[in-house]
A and B are shown apart, each in its own frame.
Chain A
């Protein structure tokens, strides 16, 4: 009965390094979302996966950001050549087919700090 699992929970990296963030959605959830939350702000959409459809990548802020999803399971968000403005909490959410119009369950997030 685990929820959405994200790893690592915290990541400190040096400017210019690449980082990979992982999301394990709830089993059976076809929709998966990535959002970014800067301190004291709301969530900023990054990317959306729905089943076998082409992902909606319209929120990725630059070509340094990419994401993949293996079938309807794990997803990874990769940030290349990290910059200080990439520092934020990266949140993953998944939704079952019956709730496909919401981000139903969020993970705890990965807190990324670029120094």
Chain B
């Protein structure tokens, strides 16, 4: 079983919808939690970065971490067609170089 599991999708929503993207993990030592957006044939782009549990908001994006359940989420409000991409979760232990990534969820926002 993988250390990080992510719903593969694909996920298709109408413009303006609220999108929920989720990852579960098994390693309780993970302390840093990241979400990346990756457009086709491009490198990942860091969207959100959270340390330990809690919520973090940046514009239309909210990241939630629940360490007790080993569950993280990314919410996108008022989704736009430009949000259509693959979203990757990633996590890391303290003082570690390596991040462990999920396999990504492909999102399509239809106009």
Contact = CB atoms under 8 A, between A and B. Distances in A.
A and B interact physically: yes
A73 B104 CA distance: 30
B98 interface: yes
Interface of A: 4, 31, 33, 35, 40-45, 48, 50, 56, 58-59, 91, 93, 99, 101-109
Given A42-B88, A43-B88, A43-B90, A103 B99 contact: yes
Contacts, number: 67
A48 B97 contact: yes
Nearest to B106: A40
Interface of B: 4, 6, 32, 34, 36, 41-46, 49, 51, 88, 90, 92, 94, 96-104
A108 B100 CA distance: 19
Nearest to A47: B97
A104 B46 contact: yes
B103 A91 contact: no
B42 A56 contact: no
